[in-house]
Amino acid sequence: MSFYISGTGSSVPKKVITNFDLMNFLETDDEWISSRTGIRERRVLTDEKLLDLACEAAQNAIFDAHIKADEIDMIICSSLVGDYISPAMSCLIRDKIGSKSKFVFDINMACSGFIYAMDLASVYFDSGRVSKVLIICAESLSRLVDWQDRASCVLFGDGAGAVVLEKGNGLIAVCNKSQANAEILNVPGVRGNNPFSKADDYKSQLTMDGQEVFMFAVSSIIDEINSILENNALSSEDISLFILHQANIRIINTARKKLKQPEIKFPHNIEKYGNTSSASIPILLDELNKEGKLKLNDKLIFCAFGAGLTTGTCIIEWKKKK
């Protein structure tokens, strides 16, 4: 016995940055951005802390699961960069929400972090060490992008999504893969002021080869979804919704067409939030849950791809009761 998703939650910053706002300091326009990415606006941290978003998303998921924070056995937080390099954000979340979890830790698997976190949680469920797990994906890409690079800064936004997992039979399969390729997508580490360092000067900002990422994403989605379906004696027709990482609407649409599935089975919210890295799937999942679009026993596929390069694919059966 592994787990099922018993609660979902999300939180985004209050500041909305539209494509028209970006035109004030970038040589770009709404049509150029939206036609290439599907993004119309994104949310960006201003006076909030990422920890605040993470805790609000966590509390919303706990409320939705009809449990209390002190019932949670483990907290996993996925994030590229928190308010601190140390301590881990999971430690701060535990105290702020009033949890007594013994197992808390952060992971950094970029945009695939949500799937990796569920895979890790499944091991603890299978070993009998936990009965309730809280996963939070909290991302602040606005801190990492180069706001003078119109090719990349227009893509990203900030936000947090969370789920509560409980003992049950909702997990059908999960598969994560990785390969070493830092060239096409990376964020260099913090340099500091080490007087002995001979490293070249650089900024800790995201760099990306958009075309290479696009090709990797589409091929990975198709290969990993077809593989996990075949390995579990399922077909695309058995899946109610394909909930993909919200990186680019063209990636989503290209994958959908290659899988020969209708638009209605590929929900998206990238137009509102941009790419929120590992938070994108749980934020979208929370919206679908709150809007009543997830039915009991629906089979869902989650699929993500990101820096590493990494991929994560998961099939779950929706077992949450209203």
Three-class DSSP category at 139: strand
Per-residue 3-state assignment (H helix, E strand, C coil) for 80-96: CCCCCCCCCHHHHHHHH
Per-residue 3-state assignment (H helix, E strand, C coil) for 27-66: CCCHHHHHHHHCCCEEEECCCCCHHHHHHHHHHHHHHHHC
Is position 275 annotated as part of the catalytic site?
yes
pLDDT at 203 over 80: no
pLDDT at 200 over 90: no
Query: Mind listing the pLDDT tens digit for each residue in 147-164?
Result: 999 889 999 999 999 999
Per-residue model confidence (pLDDT) at position 253 = 97
Q: Give yes or no for a contact between 172 and 194, defined as CB atoms under 8 angstroms apart.
A: no
Q: Domain range for residue 144? A: 1-322
Query: Mind listing the pLDDT tens digit for each residue in 11-42?
Result: 999 999 999 999 999 999 999 999 999 999 99
Instruction: Choose among 162, 157, 134: nearest CA to 145.
Output: 157
Query: Mind listing the pLDDT tens digit for each residue in 232-273?
Result: 999 999 999 999 999 999 999 999 999 999 999 999 999 999
Instruction: Choose among 315, 281, 280: nearest CA to 298.
Output: 315
In whole angstroms, give the CA distance from residue 218 to residue 173: 21
For the domain that residue 116 is a member of, what is the CATH number?
3.40.47.10
Q: List strand residue ranges (DSSP E) for 215-307, in order.
A: 241-244, 299-306
Catalytically annotated residue among 77, 111, 137, 314: 111
pLDDT at 188 over 90: no
Per-residue model confidence (pLDDT) at position 1 = 59
Per-residue model confidence (pLDDT) at position 174 = 97
Per-residue model confidence (pLDDT) at position 191 = 77
Catalytically annotated residue among 60, 245, 248, 314: 245
Query: Mind listing the pLDDT tens digit for each residue in 97-136?
Result: 999 998 999 999 999 999 999 999 999 999 999 999 999 9
The total of structural domains in the chain comes to: 1
Tokens of 276: 């929120």
In whole angstroms, give the CA distance from residue 9 to residue 14: 16
* pTM for this prediction: 0.96
Is position 111 annotated as part of the catalytic site?
yes
Per-residue model confidence (pLDDT) at position 308 = 86
Instruction: Choose among 130, 237, 135, 125: nearest CA to 170.
Output: 125
Catalytically annotated residue among 275, 289, 303, 314: 275
Residue with tokens 């996963």: 135
Is position 245 annotated as part of the catalytic site?
yes
